[in-house]
Amino acid sequence: MNLYLRILVALLSTASIGLAQAPHAAIVTGEVHNPPSRDIAFHHEPLLAPGPSEHPIVLDEQNSFALLLNVSKGTFVTGYYRGERYFRIPFFVEPGDSLHAVVTFAEVTEADSAAAVESDSLDSTEDEAPPAYSLIFSGRGADNNRFLAEFWPQHNAFDPDNGLEPEEFTRRIEQRRRDEFALLAEGREKHALSAGFIDYMTAFFNYKWADQMISYPMFAFRDGHWMRRFNVKPSDRRAVPPDYYDFLQEIPLMDEKAIGVQEYRWFVVNALDLEVDNALAEEERRPSRLADRYKLSGLGLSPAVHARLDSMYNANIRLRPKLSERIDLSGLGLAESAQARLDSMYENRKKISASKKAAWLGLELSPAAQAELDSYEDHHMTFGMEDTTRIDTTDGKLTFHLPLAKNREWYEYVNNRPLSAWIDLSSLELSPAAQAELDSMYSMYQDSPPPKLSERIDLAALGLSEETQAQLDSIFAGPSFPIFRGIPERYDLAQQKLQGRVLYWSLARELMLGISFDCEAFVDARWQSFAESNPFPEYTEAIQAELNKLLTLQPGQPAPDFTLNDLDGQPVSLSQFKGKVVLLDFWASWCGPCIADLGTLRKIKEQVAAQPVVFLNVSLDANEGAWKQAIAKHEIKGVHVRSEQVAQAYNVSGIPRYYLVDPQGLIVEDRLRLFDVEEVVAKIKKHL
């Protein structure tokens, strides 16, 4: 029996859900000729689970694979490989299918491979032209996939032009939908398509069209290309005719049969986002809901206390405090009127001028050139992958393009400027000594730790016990959890707009999204209520499983072990560094913030160089050449390995992400921050 058959037999005999237990099982087997890589992954959108499911597979010696899926109705299963080259091939499977696929890639020449590695791009992208391939299907479900193989290249070739005017854009994508239904009609004549496949493709065409329609106004033209809504303010959303959204009357927001079609999920999210954006468009700064950033659920606060705490926080902390509230001006002998003037001047302090930015960058400019820079009303700085500083004045806007390495330097420069650099103290008729003292007091405040929450808000007025006040101080002294703009509002809006399974599927998806992006406080504030009201246990079980994974990554838990090859191809395990402190750095060559952090990391490494500390760098680079090139270019010290799977095991959804592991192999910090070098060094030395 060859290895391919042994894999299939083992898969069927040891799967957690066997065929006898799972009548909805579908089997996908296949062989890949001239594979770009032995590593392949399959992705599908389950009907029951609120998020996508991933199935990584390694081809056997015969370049074959076998996959057992538990599907309750027809769904897309996308095979993809992302490395020096990229491909994505959709399959369609239904309960009881036993589909066999033969994938044949065009042979890749050595010149092609070298060109891929030596490309200016540091990472392969989905926009790269995939290698040519052919598909042959057999077994149950083959006809559905023969049509899909014919349709998919045409589907991918259509790219809606978001630069078109609304009428022309609408006409084109509506025509595209009609063409797709015409192709499906032809396919029904040519192939024996199943009823489930026809239903799926019908939902796919309709909700793909609806999502493109609803997404169109969410694009805005920036820096030479169209960007989606999440990169621009809601108020920047493009204007459309009053009747543009009439199309929403043609497509149902609630369609239980479409659950499991990815395009339907996107449509529901964007439809809710549309209303959320409408509500937030006029708000420059919406009030902060603390339960979305801090884990407050264990304090037993009533909804009324939560609301009052939010109100007091936004009134006293989130808004910029007056200068007189930040430093004690009474010792300077300033009259109340002078203090009020100083507060006003600080509140309306000027931005750093363009000529001062140029001077900070070391650009030697004549007085006339400096004056020309300062004549631009709109000027800002961007940080990218460029190695040199560049000035751009396109469209009458002044932009300084800087290397990412300058990002932290600029942050430190801005935050360490004396008060006299922000406002003209001489207008207050202060003596030079008083001005110097004021600068000194301002600098001391900048360097001092932030006051406790109880020092900024009268927590006693909320009727809280001293113990609860101390707990709140402790919570707010630690890092807050991230929260994406609009997610809490979208969750709440779904409860108003949706019903039945679609409602709980949507809520579960938002909670899963919150888990995957470390928005733990957002999840924590809603999880219990969801679990108590949700009538569909499969959603509760799916979320509970993800929460259980998070518990294994909390401080005090053993860091998951792994073994990967280093730059020399030698195996490296986390467990081999027992007895040493390990700083795990999840990064990638294409990650701007990761590169920006290298300067800080270099300082940390220098200060603990003589200590038993290991800097274990885990790259998420799919492109091996780009990975090695970045390490050499930036002279990144430490142990280097590469794996996306390890990042998933550590629930890394965004990078850079840092874990600190003690000599016993226990997690000390699961989201270490690098803002303060001395603080990080102290944490490392504490556990030596």
Task: State how far the Cα of 414 lies from the Cα of 422, in Å rounded to an integer.
Answer: 10
In the predicted structure, residue 457 carries a pLDDT above the cut 60: yes
Task: Give the neighbor-by-neighbor strand order of the sheet with 390-392.
Answer: 379-384, 398-403, 390-392
Binning the chain into helix, strand and coil, the percentages to the nearest 5 are 50, 15, 35
- 112 pLDDT band, cuts 50/70/90, is very low
Kindly report which listed range (277-291, 581-595, 613-627) carries the lowest average pLDDT score: 277-291
Instruction: Indicate if the alpha-carbon torsion angle 139, 142, 143, 144 is positive or negative.
Output: positive
- Domain positions in the chain: 3-157, 177-280, 563-686
In the predicted structure, residue 117 carries a pLDDT above the cut 60: no
Percent of the chain at pLDDT above 90?
34
Over residues 632-646, mean pLDDT: 91
Stronger pLDDT, 614 or 317, i.e. the higher one: 614
Q: Label residue 58 exposed, middle or buried (CB < 10 Å: 0-12, 13-18, 19+).
A: exposed
Task: Give the pLDDT of residue 212.
Answer: 92
Q: How far is CA 46 from the centre of its chain?
A: 21
Task: Give the pLDDT of residue 641.
Answer: 95
Reported pTM: 0.75
Task: Give the pLDDT of residue 7.
Answer: 35
CATH assignment of 3-157, among 3.30.465.10, 2.60.40.1120, 3.40.50.2300, 3.40.50.720? 2.60.40.1120
- 317 pLDDT band, cuts 50/70/90, is low
Over residues 311-325, mean pLDDT: 72
Instruction: Indicate if the alpha-carbon torsion angle 559, 669, 662, 474 is positive or negative.
Output: negative
Characterize the bridge pairing of strands 75-82 and 86-93: antiparallel
> Angle at which helices 500-516 and 520-533 pack, to 10 degrees?
150
Percent of the chain at pLDDT above 70?
84
- 5 pLDDT band, cuts 50/70/90, is very low
Chain mean pLDDT for the chain: 82
Stronger pLDDT, 379 or 620, i.e. the higher one: 620
Q: Label residue 20 exposed, middle or buried (CB < 10 Å: 0-12, 13-18, 19+).
A: exposed
Q: Could you tell me if 370 and 358 are in contact, meaning their C-beta atoms sit under 8 angstroms apart?
A: yes
Kindly report which listed range (127-131, 410-414, 537-541, 565-569) carries the lowest average pLDDT score: 127-131
Q: How far is CA 34 from the centre of its chain?
A: 34
Neighbours of 169 (CB within 10 A): 19
Task: State how far the Cα of 357 lies from the Cα of 360, in Å rounded to an integer.
Answer: 5
Task: State how far the Cα of 57 lies from the Cα of 66, in Å rounded to an integer.
Answer: 8
Over residues 55-81, mean pLDDT: 85
In the predicted structure, residue 563 carries a pLDDT above the cut 50: yes
In the predicted structure, residue 83 carries a pLDDT above the cut 60: no
> Which amino acid belongs to residue 29?
T
- 286 pLDDT band, cuts 50/70/90, is low
Q: What is the three-class DSSP state of 687?
A: coil
Task: Give the pLDDT of residue 45.
Answer: 77
- 549 pLDDT band, cuts 50/70/90, is confident
Over residues 649-664, mean pLDDT: 89
DSSP bridge partners of 660: 583, 669
- The tally of CA atoms less than 13 A away on the side-chain side of residue 151 is 26
- The 10s digit of each residue's pLDDT in 336-359 is 888 888 888 888 887 888 888 888
- 123 pLDDT band, cuts 50/70/90, is very low
In the predicted structure, residue 662 carries a pLDDT above the cut 60: yes
Examine residue 287 and say whether the peptide bond preceding it is cis (omega within 30 degrees of 0). no
Stronger pLDDT, 609 or 654, i.e. the higher one: 609
Q: Could you tell me if 159 and 198 are in contact, meaning their C-beta atoms sit under 8 angstroms apart?
A: no
Q: How far separated are the first and last CA of the chain, in Å rounded? A: 53
Task: State how far the Cα of 131 lies from the Cα of 128, in Å rounded to an integer.
Answer: 9
Domains 3-157 and 563-686 fall in the same CATH topology: no
Task: Give the pLDDT of residue 13.
Answer: 35
Stronger pLDDT, 215 or 404, i.e. the higher one: 215
Over residues 152-172, mean pLDDT: 84
Query: Rounded to whole angstroms, what are the CA distances from 162 to 129, 255, 315?
Result: 22, 27, 41
Q: Label residue 458 exposed, middle or buried (CB < 10 Å: 0-12, 13-18, 19+).
A: exposed
Kindly report which listed range (49-58, 117-126, 251-260, 608-617) carries the lowest average pLDDT score: 117-126
In the predicted structure, residue 605 carries a pLDDT above the cut 90: yes
Q: What is the three-class DSSP state of 407?
A: helix
Task: Give the pLDDT of residue 667.
Answer: 95
Q: For residue 99, which of 79, 82, 116, 119 has the smallest C-alpha distance?
A: 79
Across 114-118, 616-620, 649-653, which has the greatest mean pLDDT? 616-620
Kindly report which listed range (196-205, 215-224, 296-305) carries the lowest average pLDDT score: 215-224
Instruction: At 417, list the tokens.
Output: 């400027």
Over residues 35-40, mean pLDDT: 79
The CATH code of domain 563-686 reads 3.40.30.10
- CA angle 99/100/104 to nearest 5° reads 140
